[in-house]
Structure 1
């Protein structure tokens, strides 16, 4: 009887969800919270929030609060951008505020398309770069990456304004992989950051059925795991007023039936 009730509750959640998996994209408003570990030591948590758009203006935010012993680091990052033709995102404003142990700093970037220039300020240094429609900021580029994966694009190369400089990043697909973590079991695609040296390696896993939401990231220095970031919970919403249930809770309920 208990197994039947659990199955029925899972079915009800799935069909009651206004943001079904079939309709989820990278731009579906959502919140995702992650646990940040240094090796096996928990440092804290981080959260991504994509708000419902105001017309064609989107806002993506990142907040983190991590620490180890007497060391602390808090960051608040915000990106404002628009959606253009062919699912291409164009950044408008980007800001970072960092506080905690050591010097605090701010970073800002303004993508002035009409002036054909990008204004950047990192700490106390200012810079200007020629405007380019293929130039992103470090936060919203994650959403562009996810949109490109949903469009089955093969070239995963991105240029962004970061810390007062223009940096290039390239990625490759490693393969498909099932990821089992505390929040659930996810079918994912595994990626690797392309680097010339193997002294530093970064891998991350994204779930196609969740609009390529990141599930896990691991970073290695000289073969030793340094960072391990795992999805704790998430919530998609079809509109600002219609919230979808956390898929991690559905996955957990479904897995409980398998052991009975």
Structure 2
């Protein structure tokens, strides 16, 4: 269960910025950053997590990593480029470990061949190409870019092992949030899972280019969350 919570953190985090319905009047260009978080499970601080965005020309690498002591760890990596503020997906990988057990997932986006290929623990699959298809990490980047330009799209298409699915978000309002790194004015957003017992809520800080400063998830049996502890990058 803890491994699933760790690996799903970035899936939730992918959409964190999605909820924000207020665009910045002074848009900032996409810039590299590093953010650190404390990770909690069922109300107990279990470890740490990081989100890092690196740039090499127009090639971007986005990495999410979480670790709960020696018990569990997960790392997700997305490679993409930007064309007129639109994310162009290249490939994605996830590796997770939990007390000796491992899990892996890969996505290869092939616009020329009009296919999206996935591999989950050695089981290969392929889907028809979907324009604008994103992965769990670079979807967050796309949402931020949209917020800084013309606003959110009606739907975002996120790829997982089962295919490409639409995601929607609901704005709950604004809230001043205290974190170990400081207090931020945030936009509070809920990811609609379509199940009453399951919810994910994000707190996005416009001052930090809509970085998620807090994420909280509850599935009825357990809960987990991350809270910002440090940040290196652009600010408004």
Same fold by TM-score greater than 0.5:
yes
Which TM class, normalised by the smaller chain length?
0.7 to 0.9
1:66 aligns with 2:65: no
Q: For residues 221 and 130 of structure 1, what CA distance do their matches in structure 2 show?
A: 31
Figure out how many residues of one structure are paired with residues of the other and give that number: 213
* 3-state SS in 1 of match to 2:233: strand
Deviation (angstroms), 1:152: 4.9
Distance in 1 separating the partners of 2:28 and 2:154: 18
Q: CA RMSD in A?
A: 2.4
Which residue pairs with 1:227 in the alignment?
A: 224
- Residue of 97, 113, 121 corresponding to 2:95: 97
Structure 1 distance, partners of 2:153, 2:58, is 26
TM-score (norm 2): 0.82
For structure 2, the 5+ residue unaligned runs are 1-23
CA contact (8 A) 2:39 2:224 kept: yes
Measured after TM superposition, the shift of residue 26 of structure 1 is 7.0
SS in 2 for 1:135: coil
Shift of residue 196 of structure 1? 2.5
Which residue does 1:177 correspond to in 2?
Answer: 175
Shift in Å at residue 22 of structure 1?
A: 9.4
If the length of structure 1 is used for normalisation, what is the TM-score? 0.75
Q: What does residue range 20-39 of structure 1 map to in structure 2 within 5 Å?
A: 25=28, 27-39=30-42
Per-residue deviation, residues 103-130 of structure 1 (Å, max 9, x unmatched): 3122111111111111111112111111
Structure showing the higher helix proportion among its residues: 1
Matches within 5 A, 1:1-260: 25=28, 27-51=30-54, 53-67=55-69, 72-85=71-84, 87-101=85-99, 103-155=101-153, 157-222=155-220, 226-236=223-233
Higher relative contact order (CA 8 A, sep 6+): 2
